[in-house]
Structure 1
Amino acid sequence: MTTTTNGKLSVREKVGYSLGDFAANLVFQTLVTYIVFFYTDVYKLSNSAAQSVIFWCGIIGGVLFAPVMGMIADRTKTRWGKYRPWILFTAIPFGVLIFFTFSTPNFGETGKIVYAFVTYLLLVSLYTANNLPYASLSGVLTGNMAERNSLSAYRFVAVMGAQFIIQVLMLPIIMMAGDGDQALGFEKITLVFAFVAVACFIVTFLTTKERVVAPQESDSRVVDDLKDLLGNVPWLIMLGVVVLVFVTLALKGGMYIYYFDNYVSEPALAVFLENMGFNSFISGLTSFFGSLGFAFEWPESPVASGFGLFNGSGIIMMIVGIGFSKPLADRFGKRNIYGIFLVISTLFVLAFVAIPPESVGTMFISQILHGFFYGITIPLLWAMIADVADYSEWKNNRRATAVIFSAMILGLKGGLTVGSTIAAMVLASYGYDANLESQSLETKEGIKLAVSVFAAIPFFVAAASMFFYQINKKMETQIETDLAARRPATV
């Protein structure tokens, strides 16, 4: 194995690497937040057609293709390394498909379905082919685990930045760009996203370097990779953790819009927005953009404003929390910090079960505190997965970084699917009816339970799993020392 002498990464390389995640999350967050809305309300597909396109393309291009792509990436051999070339080669096709997926050609009903299926399948497949090698790259930029913690922190600040743009700002920007025409607005915004993504991916390729390189004799067969995975207890635990974490994220993330639309008191929310100066701030923005010739049309509904501000406050505090992640992990180890702060953050999710509809301020305080403490855990999840790749190499004398990351991405997709399914089951079980102006008390109670008790359970189980995760601070140091001794130093 080869690596640098001390494994230190420059700020330039960390920033360059993080831009890849910023680009990918402009797309990922748009898909998570808007793809159903785009297909049904903008492109006018039927609900059943939209669901079929999203489900089957996600299964084929995401879940099934991920392990295949992992094995391909691990066996790629170029002068640029195993993983960097995929970031470069997929950049332009990925950008093109971003634009085409959110375009609205005027085909007939069948033509629209075919167009949506082909473009979305290609986009999801290119996302896998780009993002899986990108995630794997974090495991081979350096063998220094402290530097890996720092790299993850840079990376997830970029993720939160993209998430803030999409979840808080994108809707009014679409309205401005399209002058009220949402289809035109989506096309214009995604065209900008396409150029930004391509540029960011190229910067990531140019500013990074693979330093942890497997020698020829350690190359393995696919069956060897699978045997290593099944015998890798930390990997099995992290796979379960990834599934559980994304079950919660999908469940509460998908239910918050119902929470604001049906449970939260709209008059209390309107008073809260007015008292905190949000309405005055939006009026100021409207005047500012109006003076520049833009029509800034922020939704007038307190629910829409409250929902965006709620998401935004959580995201900002997650970014703040990320800044505490590296020093805490360096001192106490990733496992301990991840488990402790996941539990603390989950307590503020659970707190929503006791918050009445009129206590809007308390809701925001709970969201802010949850965001801060959860932010500390965000970089550590993927940094621990990179450590699992080191553990596998340490134990088996073989390295299969992309296979390990591909399995985790499969877990991510599985968690999102399960979480979204649970959300739909909760709505059906508690009698949600979209045609009613006001839901029953039973339905409102079910929605409250979904964003509190039901969402908290997978997080608590994930935190408890850390008791069985072997790679503590002491083992981190041992693995890093042993692997460094095996790898001849190079500049």
Structure 2
Amino acid sequence: MTVTKQLTWREKISYGVADMGFNFYWTNIATFLLIYYTDVFGISAAAAASMMFTIKIINAFTDPMIGAAADRTRTRWGKFRPYLIWVPLPLACAAVLTYSTPDLSADGKIIWAYGSYLAMMVCYTCINIPYNALSGVLSADPQERSTVNGLRFIFAFAGGTVVTAATPALVHWLGGGNDKLGWQLTMLTWSVFASLLFVLTFLNTRERIVPVAAQQSNVWQDIRDLSQNRPWMALFFLALIIMITITLRTSSAAYYFKYVVQRPELMATFVPAYMLSAAAGASLTPLMTRFVDKKKLMMILMTITAVLSSAFFFVPKDQVWLMFALQIGMGLALGPKSPLAFSMYADTADYNEWRTGRRATAMTFAAATFSQKLGTAIAVAVIGSIFTQLGYVANAVQSAGSQAGIVWLMSFIPAAFALLAVAVMFFYNLDNNKLLQIQADLEARKI
């Protein structure tokens, strides 16, 4: 079997649609979960941020375990595809419980939040990591990987757009004015649609790249290999920093429009505007990588992100059009970063096999998602800490200091992290010529 063969559009699209399903969960978590906990579920910002930080840290450490399990899975359907039909039901149940508000004491609510959120995130990881790894075994062609991941993130951003635009209306409609019931039924709706997309991906994709039959390794060997994989280490810190950048702005946006601009209804179009522009940026990724090396392209995009995010600080609160213009610009800049990063992860898995003779595709992606979750946890902790220090009070008029903190979370703070991401990319050392050499050598070893 030729592992560098071109994939059919049916397979590319079938792979990509699952990421729309993942964003039915992820975008809800990133955009609405914190404000759901503070303004609907009924716990303080400090308690919610502390809980989300703790669960993210715990869940981050489960990622390598799940990656190791996926790498060692043996079924007639492959290593990674079976998780797309094994896990959707448990994930849906955990998600609905997370967005349920039981009649409990304050301490009881905290316990419920910890348990349900942890269950949702572990289930999410059990399906998301094998799905990420699947992109690395569909084809060995670096350009095909860029195309697959570019298409995937078009669907991802489309899913995020639908969620951010429709969720507030669904909560109102399904709940009939009862936000607690509305959130529960809304999450059930998204979960059903996501499960159907996961099954579609399972049915229409194929795993082509497999480790050599004689490969012998254990989990600790996989981790040691990654720790000595310089380009992967650069991507590890890149993912952490970019996730902090994005989460700071995404989680702060609901507070920004509710308390600073005092027009919370704009959230229904503000985040979708970003998602649509990000989808447009993602769609251009395969074209851009034909002319610009992935490393250089990532550095250019993160520099643009830093400039546009900084500019947000100077926008008057009545200049809504300018807020949207900057948000759309950031979407165009950040849209390609996800397909770029995930195709680069697959490249580092090839590099690892070329360097050591061992392949651990799922572990490569799992350890990467570890850094993403750690980045999300740090961002939530930063938000919670700033809100606590500035005296944030839910559903009340905010002080000048609290409003200023929200604006900083939308501008200079994420801009600083975006510039740090640029610095990290100097340590990534795989260019197009090196990748061509690696693929040729790996093909030769299998003859």
TM-score (norm 1): 0.84
Give the alignment partner of residue 99 of structure 1, picking from 83, 96, 99.
Answer: 96
Q: Which secondary structure state, in structure 1, belongs to the residue aligned with residue 210 of structure 2?
A: coil
Deviation at 1:195, TM superposition (A): 2.1
| Alpha-carbon shift at residue 153 of structure 1 (Å) | 1.0
| Counterparts of 2:392 and 2:307, CA distance in 1 | 27
**How many angstroms apart in 2 are the aligned matches of 1:116 and 1:438?**
26
- Of residues 304-313 and 241-250 in structure 1, the stretch that sits farther from structure 2 once superposed is 304-313
Provide the C-alpha distance between the structure 1 equivalents of 2:204 and 2:98, rounded to a whole number of angstroms: 29
Task: Look up the SS of the partner of 1:121 in the other structure.
Answer: helix
Offset, 1:93: 2.0
What is the alpha-carbon distance in structure 2 between the residues aligned to residue 451 and residue 109 of structure 1? 31
* C-alpha distance in structure 2 between counterparts of 1:109 and 1:431, whole Å: 20
Farther-moved stretch of structure 1 (358-367 vs 96-105): 96-105
Tell whether the 8 Å contact from 1:97 to 1:123 is kept in structure 2 after alignment: yes
Distance 2:315 2:39 in 1: 33
Q: 1:368 aligned to 2:328?
A: yes
Partner of residue 149, structure 2:
152
For residues 454 and 336 of structure 1, do their structure 2 counterparts lie closer, same or farther at Cα, with a shift above 3 Å needed? same
Q: Alignment partner for residue 192 of structure 1, among 164, 180, 189?
A: 189
The separation in 1 between residues aligned to 2:185 and 2:259, in whole angstroms, is 33
1:410 aligned to 366, 370, 373, which one? 370
Q: Which amino acid aligns with 1:98?
A: A
Which segment is superposed worse, 350-359 or 364-373? 350-359
Q: Work out whether 1:468 is the aligned partner of 2:422.
A: no
Q: What is the aligned counterpart of 1:343 among 292, 297, 303?
A: 303
Cα distance, 1:444–1:96 mapped onto 2, change above 3 Å: closer
Q: String of CA shifts for 1:62-104, please: whole Å, max 9, x gaps.
A: 2121111111111112222211122221122223333333344
Q: Is contact 1:332–1:473 with CA below 8 Å preserved after alignment?
A: no
Contact 1:250–1:416 (8 Å) recurs in 2: yes
Counterpart Cα distance in 1 of 2:100 and 2:383: 29
Out of 270, 287, 301, which is 1:327 matched to? Answer: 287
Alignment of 1:194-343 (within 5 A): 194-264=191-261, 303-343=263-303
Aligned residue type for 1:465: V
Moved more, 308-317 or 34-43: 34-43
Residue among 3, 21, 34 paired with 2:32 = 34
Contact 1:98 1:193 in 2 (8 A): no
- TM-score w.r.t. length of structure 2: 0.92
CA drift at 1:7: 2.3
Check 1:470–1:106 CA distance in 2 against 1; reply closer, same or farther (3 A cut).
same
Instruction: Give SS of 2:224's match.
Output: helix
Greater Cα radius of gyration, structure 1 or 2: 1
Contact in 1 for aligned 2:15/2:152 (Cα 8 Å): yes
Deviates more, 1:10-19 or 1:33-42: 33-42
Moved more, 68-77 or 419-428: 419-428
Single out whichever of 366-375 and 29-38 deviates more from structure 2.
Answer: 29-38
Query: Alignment partner of 1:84: what SS?
Result: coil
Task: Compare 46-55 and 307-316 and name the one that shifted more.
Answer: 46-55
Matched residue of 2:151: which SS?
A: helix
Equivalent AA in structure 2 for residue 158 of structure 1:
F
Task: Tell me how far 1:325 sits from its aligned partner.
Answer: 0.8
Cα distance in 1, alignment partners of residues 32 and 395 from structure 2: 21
Secondary structure (helix, strand or coil) at the match of 2:157 reads helix
Kindly state the Cα deviation for residue 198 of structure 1 after the two structures are TM-superposed.
1.9
Secondary structure of the residue that 1:191 maps to in structure 2? helix
Measure, in 2, the Cα distance between the counterparts of 1:5 and 1:241.
Answer: 28
Determine the C-alpha separation between the residues in 1 that align with 2:53 and 2:279. 31
Is 1:8 matched up with 2:17?
A: no
* Separation in structure 1 between the aligned mates of residue 100 and residue 437 of structure 2, nearest angstrom: 52
Check the 8 A contact 2:49/2:384 in 1, yes or no.
no
* Residue 161 (structure 2) pairs with residue 164 (structure 1): yes
CA distance in 2, matches of 1:444, 1:115: 31
* Count of residues in Structure 1 that have an aligned counterpart in Structure 2: 447
Q: CA deviation at 1:248?
A: 0.8
One-letter amino acid of the structure 2 residue matched with residue 211 of structure 1:
R
Distance verdict in 2 for CA 1:324–1:231, change over 3 Å: same
Counterpart in 2 of 1:422?
Answer: 382
After TM superposition, list the pairs within 5 Å mapping 1:81-96 onto structure 2.
81-96=78-93
SS in 1 for 2:290: helix
User: Does structure 1 retain, via aligned residues, the 8 Å contact 2:3–2:141?
Assistant: no
Matching residue's letter, 1:91:
P
Rounded Cα–Cα distance in structure 2 between residues aligned with 1:24 and 1:477: 32
* Residue 377 (1) aligns with residue 377 (2): no
- Distance in 2, matches of 1:174 and 1:339, equals 39
Aligned to 1:399: 359
Residue 453 and residue 5 in structure 1: after superposition, are their counterparts in 2 closer, same or farther (change >3 A)?
closer
Q: 1:486 to 1:126 in 2, by over 3 A?
A: same
Give 1:432-443 correspondences, 5 Å limit: 437-440=397-400, 442-443=401-402
Structure 2 CA distance for aligned equivalents of residues 239 and 44 of structure 1: 35
- Structure 2 counterpart of 1:477, from 436, 439, 446: 436
In structure 1, how many angstroms separate the alpha carbons of the residues matched to 2:426 and 2:175? 52
The answer as to whether partners of 2:295 and 2:425 remain within 8 angstroms in 1 is: yes
CA contact 2:30–2:251 (8 Å) conserved in 1: no
Q: Report the equivalent of 1:80.
A: 77
Distance 1:70 1:357 in 2: 45
Q: Is the 8 A contact 1:336 1:472 kept in 2?
A: no
Q: Which consecutive residues of structure 2, in runs of 5 or more, have no partner in the other structure?
A: none
Q: Quick one: which amino acid aligns to residue 23 of structure 1?
A: G
Bigger drift between 318-327 and 248-257 goes to 248-257
Change (3 A) 1:99 1:252: closer
Q: d(CA) in 2 for partners of 1:233 and 1:319? A: 30
